[in-house]
Chains A and B, each alone.
Chain A
Amino acid sequence: MSEMWINMGPQHPMTHGLWNLRVKIDGEMILDVDPEMGYLHRGIEKISEDRHYNEVITLMDRCCYVAGFAWEHLYIQSAEQALGLRPPERAEYLRVLCDEFQRIASHLMWYAAFVQDIGLMSPFLYGMRDRDLVLDLFQSYTGARMTYEYMRVGGVRNDVPPGFTDQARKVLDWLSDRFVEYDQLCLGSTIFRERCDDLGTLKANDCVAHGVTGPMLRAAGLKRDLRKDRPYAAYDRLEFDVAVADSADVTARYLVRMEEMRQSVRILRQVVDWLDRHPGPVLAERLPRWLGAPYAPIGNEGYLLKRHYAKGVGFSAVEEPHGEAQAYVVNDGGEHPYRVKFRSPVFANISAARQYLVGYHVADIPPIMGSVDVCVGEVDR
């Protein structure tokens, strides 16, 4: 048997989504890989051009289905910049609350999928179970578990309900205990270390060369986190550390994500305390007529012709759970954004697959790709 190409995808247990990893193998060795994306392309950027600024939010939740809040936040920041609006401070803290809980939920989802990839069966359910608690919290103030549609241009839709902060504190306590269990099941297991150490190594300079960001970059020892380097929302007022590891392998990525969850818990405790002490409005006072909640924009041509708002562009970057996501919104004075462009971190992360897959075994593909944390929704948009 000589070399052969096999398609791992688009329907394959390894892919966690809808993409195709073509692998050239010789026996059990990987000679070459060729990631193919685009199976989930929905044209979100183009659809956005035909929607009112607030209506784009419904698309953002579907951009990345495990980190909807991060993408809402990303878009909203750019749109606010393009429209020249500023959210109230409480809204900024609420957005951080959403972001960080979303980071925990996303990382738990990653944990569940990753351990499933290396054959650990029960932690898969543990990750999903604990993620559910976070989703319960989301549901309690947004009304949905996955597609939140919570942030609005100029703030957020509503404040958290009474008693929310107490529940959030309980969840944070519970999660802190669970992280110990996760480590026992993974790091404590010799087989896990055998599988994951020195696997899928991607050094820092390769990360930079390929635009790889997020936990993969930090696992390679580069301390780069947009929440610190380019603070947005309320991150400059919160205290936390950036998780960094230096071995650049699958274990390092595991360690970084686990540490990030702990740091998220730390941030959330501060945010929840702040929310208790500082009541206030959550939506900007003076919004353009067509943005002001609760009244949705109206498709009225006569009205359109007569309105002239300031033009502008907005750019923002957000440290999404998977990496650095960026958005660019052009406001030409119309009711819809003129152009919306997103930069997906996972797209860059899996485009570099050749760098960290070639030379390993076929059996190493699931752990390595699992450690990349692929979310195809945002790759294809």
Chain B
Amino acid sequence: MNSIAGIRHIVQFILFVALQILLLDNLVLFSTGFCFIYIAFLLFLPIHINRVLLLFLGFIVGFTVDVFYDTMGIHAAASVLLAFLRPHVLNLLTPRDGYDTNDSANLHTMGWSWFLTYAAILITVHHAAVFFLEIISFEWYTLVKILLSTLFTGVVVVIIQLLFFSVKRAKR
């Protein structure tokens, strides 16, 4: 079971990064709404994953995107921040009877409100980090960018959950 889950996450890594580089690189709404779908890989990892491993995975996925985007370090820094905050956000959102050992961050098992809060917090933090590291100064326009991009990425993440993470598989 464990190795199958591992392979599934490796496949997800490749798919999400490929989607990011090949398709979503060219898809920008009104030159303000960016979609950084590769962080879905970090969001969908098992809940009880080792914290240090999670940090390294965050670095690797951010770095891969950086290499293709020629934005050395920016996406890596934002992803590592996301990976660091994820366990804390999960702690905050613990349901009354705690998490099951094999739970993953899944819309069908955890419910809509839980998943939306979880995704919204982490995506906002990540996007804010990316856009502020890009300009290293404050502009109001950046806030618009963050808001629109968070919405865009959030919607895509939810669509992916609904399409490819079926209810049946979640029950297993």
Asked if A and B bind, the verdict is no
**Chain B positions near chain A (C-beta within 8 angstroms):** none
Q: B-contacting residues of A (Cβ < 8 Å)? A: none
